[in-house]
Chains A and B, each alone.
Chain A
Amino acid sequence: MTRTSRPVRAVAFALAPFAFAFPAFAQDSGDPIVIPIHNWSSQIVMSHAIGQIFEGMGNSVEYVSTDSQAVYEAIRLGDAALEVEVWEGAFGASFDAAKEKGGIHEAGNHNAVTREDWWYPLWTKEACPGLPDWEALNACASAFATPETGDKGRFLGGPVDWLKHDAEKVEALDMNFTVVNAGSAAALWAELAAAERDKTPIVLFNWTPNFAEAVWPGEFVEFPKWEAGCDSDPAVGPHPDKVYDCGNPADGYLKIAAWDGMPEKWPGAYAVLQKVSFTNPQIAEMAKLVDVDGMEPEDAATAWLAANEATWKPWLE
């Protein structure tokens, strides 16, 4: 018996009565439901949790690792069946583009909000006590200076393909900062870990829910509040002639996407998927099991399911 199949079977046994109770599930195709996984833990654990629920219903499930942007093209073509974490900020554009081409749709919405913006670990406050206000941050820009940025402060942005508008924001708010883009999330954490050693002040791109919250306590920078149209209409926001003169939305969506062929091919699984909804603390807990407690993602999913039956059992009804 393999390492993965043991917990899977445990769940299968736990769910066996449900499978009998709902013969409708029997219509599901015998082909494996392909769930894509990416390179951050909450997504992997959540994928395994949902996959294990499907397996408990008698479906066969397979996980495939893919790029988190390219995945929407794969789902559209039916190479993968669903995506459990569609972040508004990071993947909204790719998702919308794929929806336009056809083949993919929104299957559900988590009861969670996502936020992605400038963020700092708490030790930064010592060097810049006025935080989290953005004007206070701007006033102590020199504390964030690096050799690459000269006198200006450095803001460490995410990879360019995340399509953030940090440079526009700096320009619109006339900030004394230069945006340096890291090439991967791993590079962001590496910088953060290095800064932690001697408590160097650092301001970087971060998001919630995320494992980093558990490892490095910190806060988001408070920019002028997001208003609809801030990114397209210069009149919106404090500066009447600038776009992006505001923070990112503090309550972005977290959706579930599915292949258009899924409701027909696996109606039972699809019905459950539509009801799936996790909250911010639940997602953070999943990430923590792996990133802090050092569990394997599949074991973490089993453990989470075992501890939270009250959450997911009703979805099967």
Chain B
Amino acid sequence: MSMAGNIPLRPHQDLRPRVALILIGAALVLILGRNLLPPGLMRAPDWLVLPFADWINVIFAFLRDDLGLIHVTRAFAAMLEWLLDVTANLLYGKNRWPRLGPLPWSAVAVSMAALGWWLGGWRLAALSGGTFVWIAVMGQWQWAMETLSVIAIAAPFSVLLGLVMGIMAWRWTWAAKLMNPVLNVAQSLPHFAYMIPVVVFIGVGPKAGAIVTIIFSVPPMIRMTELGLRKVPEEVVESGKMGGATAWQLLRKVRIPTARTEILIGVNQVIMQCLAMVVLASFIGMPGLGQKLLQLLQALKIGLSVEIGITIVLIAVVLDRLSKAWAMRQPVHHDETLPWARRHPVLVVWALALVAAFALAQIFPLLHQVPRAQALSVAGPLDVLVDGFIRLVDPVTTWLRWFLITWVLIPLRDGMLWLPFTAVLTGIAAAGWSVGGWRSAAVVVAFFGLIALSGWWDRAMITVYMVGFSVFIAALIGLPLGIWAARSETRAGRMLLLCDSLQTFPSFIYLIPVVMLFGVNDVAVVAAVVTFAAVPLIRYTIEGLRGVPAELVEAAHMSGTTRRQMLWHVRLPMALPVMMVGLNQSVMFSLFMVIIAAFIGTQDLGQELQRALSATDVGKGLVLGLAVAFMGLAVDHLIRRWSESRSAALGL
């Protein structure tokens, strides 16, 4: 059906390749005639470079001092701080109201196990209880609780805020129209960029950490709430109306429960995003695991920081499973005649175990708190392992470093910087035009044009070159791995689990071994970025290949295709739209990671962002952050357009 619908081409679609070709020709002319170009076509002339940063700083100074916004934000922060102090007291005994804590670790572990049991049976109980035992036994209790005391406030806050904003976006079109571009930018803005205004308006400390975590984690919640509410079938709403429900009752009792699945996916995303911020937020005062991790890395204690990384991954896995189990959970209806205890066995067991834990913790101090000196550690063997690995691959990496630097990276980078900016813009316009006509061309040119106007063109090109090369290498590794893993269900499952772990493992830990392997240079940066950027490529290749309709594979099989033909002519073309989503995410991840790789030592936008953060220069930070975001949005636009037309052509 869709094939037939695609045959009568609209006339202007015919023109697209031709216009794109003309644009590519123009770009080539600009490149070939480079030496004859006036300097104004090489780089944006000075009069075109607009002082965006100064404007933003003026606006911020006005908001903060003249409008007195700082009092509002500080008041809000004070409220948040009060909440943070309560959890901080309960979890790690900070000297604040209600002065009850800290709870013994055994009591917390027992409670988490009970929660796991209630939501998902004994396996989940073992996983979540076991994780908290690991944290205690490894002597990381205090740090983990410091982290969780912030997340325990930030995550619910984010969920609530997302829910309200999602409802607004669903209810009023203007709100959706307003929010959509803001959310797009927010989700592609590097974390450092919005940490600077937070320092200015909120200050430093756990409260600032909580606020950046909320800002970072709220967009998916808004998106999922809006999506869920839009998907509620009209019949359901109708039946609610017939029952005489008011608008508020309809929302609370009909729409939100029906949109439950999407909303809970949003909750799950919020939790994951919160954990992703653990390390970065410690730059502005979030206490706990992230802060400790940075300190340990600073003293080159890789084994100990890997231990912390494992804890962060474990906490992420536990919270992920718990929230997913909660999403899947259907209400259980008990026989009312049964005694109370029989109806709530988990509650009874939990209460008993909790009492036992408190009592035992009084007798055995080790069940209350495991001191660092008595904690177990796997750091020694881990250090030996890392060290041995580095020694083993050293000859290869030395050669690789020399080869990549001399023959690939330096020429590529010089090439990018050598190009006139007008040629780059024309080339981008060509890509836009061929994918989506003049509209797309205008969108992507606007994004990159603004970067040129900001005056950060050279740095932006270095970022582009590093992201481009990293994604290329990531594709070389990720696609074959994904194809290989998609062959069997068990392999795919294991690979996806590995992907999840790699994604939540704090990226800062990679930075040190790559420097040891390659030194402070772009090879180290690329190596760190590739580790991160390959993950979505692997994941979506697997998802895409597994999502190919079985009938199609069956039909191709019957017509006698070989395995190779099946892959190249049936499975891959069908999976391509999904794989492109992976590519899109891979570009996003690379952009984030390249910025973080400023801690290795880069000369791109990330380095300047790092500088802006330490100088608390809001204007500069936002301009640089937006430059990164615009690159991401331009790529996102191109890939999305392409993928949409491709899916339509395939009839998916």
CB of B295 closer than 8 Å to a CB of A: yes
Contacting pair A186 B402 (CB below 8 A): no
A190 adjacent to B616 (CB under 8 Å): no
Minimal beta-carbon separation of A308 from chain B (angstroms): 21
Chain B 189-221 residues near chain A, CB threshold 8 A: 199, 203-206
Contact A147 B285 (CB under 8 A): no
For A180, give the chain B residue with the smallest CB separation: B520
Instruction: Please tell me if the beta carbons of A185 and B298 are within 8 angstroms of each other in the complex.
Output: yes
Cα–Cα distance between A53 and B38 once the two chains are bound (Å): 67
Any A CB within 8 A of the CB of B282: yes
Contact A190 B205 (CB under 8 A): no
Selected interface stretch from B114-122, B124-132, B607-615: B607-615
- A64 contacts B402, C-beta separation under 8 Å: no
Please give the distance in Å from B442's CB to the nearest CB on chain A: 36
Chain A residues lying within 8 Å of B517, measured Cβ to Cβ, are: 194
Residues on A with C-beta less than 8 A from B203 are: 74, 77, 79
Tell me whether B369 and A3 are in contact (CB under 8 A). Answer: yes
Q: Is the CB of B300 within 8 A of A193?
A: yes
Contact between B600 and A182, CB atoms less than 8 A apart: yes
- The answer to whether A187 and B92 touch across the interface, beta carbons within 8 angstroms, is no
Q: Which residues of B contact A71 (CB under 8 A)?
A: 204
> Does chain A have a CB within 8 A of B625?
no
Bound-state CA distance A24–B401 (Å) is 64
Q: Is the Cβ of B300 less than 8 Å from the Cβ of A190?
A: yes
Taking a contact as CB atoms closer than 8 A, the residue among B92, B142, B199, B405 that contacts A73 in the complex is: B199
Q: Is A66 touching B519 in the complex (CB atoms < 8 A)?
A: no
Residue of A nearest to B405 (CB): A147
Per-position contact with A for B572-615: 1 when CB-CB < 8 Å, else 0?
A: 00000000000000000000000001111110000100110111
User: Given A2-B93, A180-B521, A190-B516, is A296 in contact with B372 using a C-beta cutoff of 8 Å?
Assistant: yes
Number of B residues whose C-beta is below 8 Å from A?
Answer: 61
| 8 A Cβ contacts from A184-242 to B | 184-187, 189-191, 193-194, 197-198, 211
B298 touches A159 (CB 8 A): no
Q: Is the CB of A65 within 8 A of B285?
A: yes
Q: Are A194 and B515 in contact (CB under 8 A)?
A: yes
Which A residues are in CB contact (< 8 Å) with B601?
Answer: 159, 180-184, 187
Query: Does A39 sit within 8 A of B, measured CB to CB?
Result: yes
User: Is the CB–CB distance between A60 and B95 below 8 Å?
Assistant: yes
Binary CB contact string for chain B from 21 to 36 against chain A (1 if under 8 A, 0 otherwise): 0000000000000000
Among residues 265 to 317 in chain A, which have CB atoms less than 8 Å away from a CB atom of chain B? Answer: 290-291, 296-297, 299
Given A66-B284, A67-B284, residue A194 in contact with residue B516 (CB < 8 A): yes
B512 adjacent to A190 (CB under 8 Å):
yes
Q: Could you tell me if B599 and A3 are in contact, using CB atoms closer than 8 angstroms?
A: no
Looking at the assembled complex, report how far the CB atom of A192 sits from the nearest CB atom of chain B, in whole angstroms: 9
- Contacting pair B205 A34 (CB below 8 A): yes
Instruction: Evaluate contact between A67 and B613: CB separation under 8 angstroms.
Output: yes
Minimal Cβ-Cβ distance residue in B for A158: B601
Most buried by A among B286, B520, B598, B611: B520
Does A66 contact B520, Cβ atoms closer than 8 Å?
Answer: no
Give the chain B neighbours of A50 by CB distance below 8 A.
Answer: none
- The reply to whether the CB of B394 lies closer than 8 angstroms to some CB of chain A is yes
Report yes or no: A40 in contact with B298, Cβ–Cβ below 8 A: yes
A80 at the interface (CB under 8 A from B): yes
Q: Is A160 located at the chain interface by the 8 A CB criterion?
A: yes
Task: Give CA–CA (A77, B200) in the complex, Å.
Answer: 10
**Secondary structure of the B side of the interface?**
helix
Q: Give which listed residue, A64, A79, A147, A197, contacts B406 with CB less than 8 A.
A: A147
Q: Closest CB of chain A to B203's CB: distance in Å?
A: 4
Given the contacts A186-B300, A191-B520, A70 and B402 also touching, CB distance less than 8 Å: no
Chain B CB within 8 A of A100 CB: no
Q: Closest B residue to A70 by CB, please name it.
A: B616
Q: Are B204 and A64 in contact (CB under 8 A)?
A: yes
Whole-angstrom distance between the alpha carbons of A4 and B298 in the complex?
22
- Cβ 8 A contact of B599, one of A65, A66, A148, A187: A187
* Residues of chain B lying within 8 A (CB to CB) of residue A187: 511-512, 515, 520, 599-601
A2 with B369: in contact, given A186-B300, A189-B300 (CB under 8 Å)?
A: yes
Q: Does B352 contact A (CB under 8 A)?
A: no
Q: In whole angstroms, what is the CA distance A185 to B513 when docked? A: 14
* Among B391, B517, B599, residue most surrounded by chain A Cβ atoms (within 10 Å): B599
Residues of A within 8 A of B540 (CB): none
Is the CB of A21 closer than 8 A to any CB of chain B? Answer: no
Q: Tell me, in angstroms, the Cα distance from A154 to B291 when the chains sit together.
A: 32
Query: How many Å lie between the Cα of A94 and that of B522 in the bound state?
Result: 29
Pick the contact of B614: A40, A70, A74, A190 (CB < 8 A): A70
Q: How far apart sit A70 and B202, CA to CA, in the bound complex (Å)?
A: 13
A36 is an interface residue with CB less than 8 A from chain B: yes
Chain B contacts for A3, CB-based, 8 A: 141-142, 369, 371-372
**Residues 287-322 of B contacting A (Cβ, < 8 Å):** 287, 291, 294-295, 297-300
| A5 close to chain B: CB less than 8 A | yes
Residues of A near B607 (CB, < 8 A) are 160, 181, 183
Q: Which residue of A lies closest to B402 (CB)?
A: A147
A185 to B102, CA, bound (A): 35
A197 touches B520 (CB 8 A): no
Q: Report A46 CB to chain B, min CB distance, Å.
A: 14
> Nearest Cβ distance between residue A295 and chain B, in whole angstroms?
8
- Residue of chain A at shortest CB distance from B379: A294
Nearest CB in chain A: distance from B371 CB, A: 6
B283 within 8 A of A: yes
CA distance A32 to B206 in the complex (A): 14
B390 at the interface (CB under 8 A from A): yes
Is the pair B285, A66 in contact by a Cβ cutoff of 8 Å? yes
Is the Cβ of A161 less than 8 Å from the Cβ of B610?
A: yes
Report A-chain residues with C-beta under 8 Å of the C-beta of B300.
186, 189-190, 193
- Whether the pair B372, A70 counts as a contact (CB closer than 8 A) is no
Q: Are B372 and A148 in contact (CB under 8 A)?
A: no
- Does A248 belong to the interface (CB within 8 Å)? no
Among B299, B394, B405, B613, the one with the most A-chain Cβ atoms within 10 Å of its Cβ is B299
**Are B285 and A159 neighbours in the complex by a CB distance under 8 Å?**
no
Q: In the bound complex, what is the Cα–Cα distance between A32 and B600 (angstroms)?
A: 36
Note all chain B residues with C-beta closer than 8 A to A27. Answer: none
For the complex, what is the distance from the CA of A94 to the CA of B405, rounded to whole Å?
A: 36
A197 nearest CB neighbor, chain B only? B391
- State how many angstroms separate the Cβ of B184 from the closest Cβ of chain A: 28
Q: Considering the complex, give the chain A residue whose CB is closest to the CB of B141.
A: A3
**Bound Cα distance from A290 to B287, whole angstroms:** 19
Identity of the chain B residue whose Cβ is nearest the Cβ of A181 in the assembled complex: B601
Task: Judge if A111 is at the interface, Cβ distance under 8 Å.
Answer: no
Give every chain A residue within 8 A of B372 (Cβ-Cβ).
3, 296, 299
User: Do residues A211 and B299 form an inter-chain contact, with CB atoms below 8 A?
Assistant: yes
A184 touches B282 (CB 8 A): no
Which of A73, A94, A186, A197 has a CB less than 8 Å from the CB of B394?
Answer: A197
Q: Assess whether A156 is interfacial by the CB under 8 Å rule.
A: yes
Question: Does A41 reach chain B (CB closer than 8 Å)?
Answer: yes
Q: Which residues of chain A come closer than 8 Å to B615, judged between CB atoms?
A: 69-70, 94, 161
CA distance A148 to B285 in the complex (A): 36
Residue of A5, A32, A39, A159 with highest tally of chain B CB at under 10 A: A39
- Give every chain A residue within 8 A of B512 (Cβ-Cβ): 186-187, 190
Contact at B287–A64, with CB atoms within 8 Å?
Answer: yes
Once bound together, how far apart are the Cα atoms of A183 and B387, in whole Å? 22
Q: List 15 A-B contacts (CB under 8 A).
A: A2-B92, A34-B205, A66-B284, A66-B285, A67-B284, A70-B284, A146-B519, A147-B521, A148-B519, A160-B610, A184-B511, A186-B599, A187-B512, A190-B513, A299-B373
Nearest 6 CB-CB pairings of A with B? A69-B614, A190-B515, A79-B203, A183-B601, A147-B405, A183-B599
Q: Can you add 20 more A-B contacts, CB < 8 Å, to A147-B521, A186-B298, A190-B512?
A: A2-B369, A3-B141, A3-B142, A39-B295, A41-B295, A62-B94, A64-B205, A65-B291, A66-B204, A70-B615, A73-B199, A74-B203, A147-B405, A156-B520, A181-B520, A183-B602, A185-B298, A186-B297, A197-B394, A291-B299
Show the binding face of B for A, using Cβ within 8 Å.
92-95, 102, 141-142, 199, 203-206, 282-287, 291, 294-295, 297-300, 368-369, 371-373, 390-391, 394, 401-402, 405-406, 410, 511-513, 515-517, 519-522, 597-602, 607, 610-611, 613-616
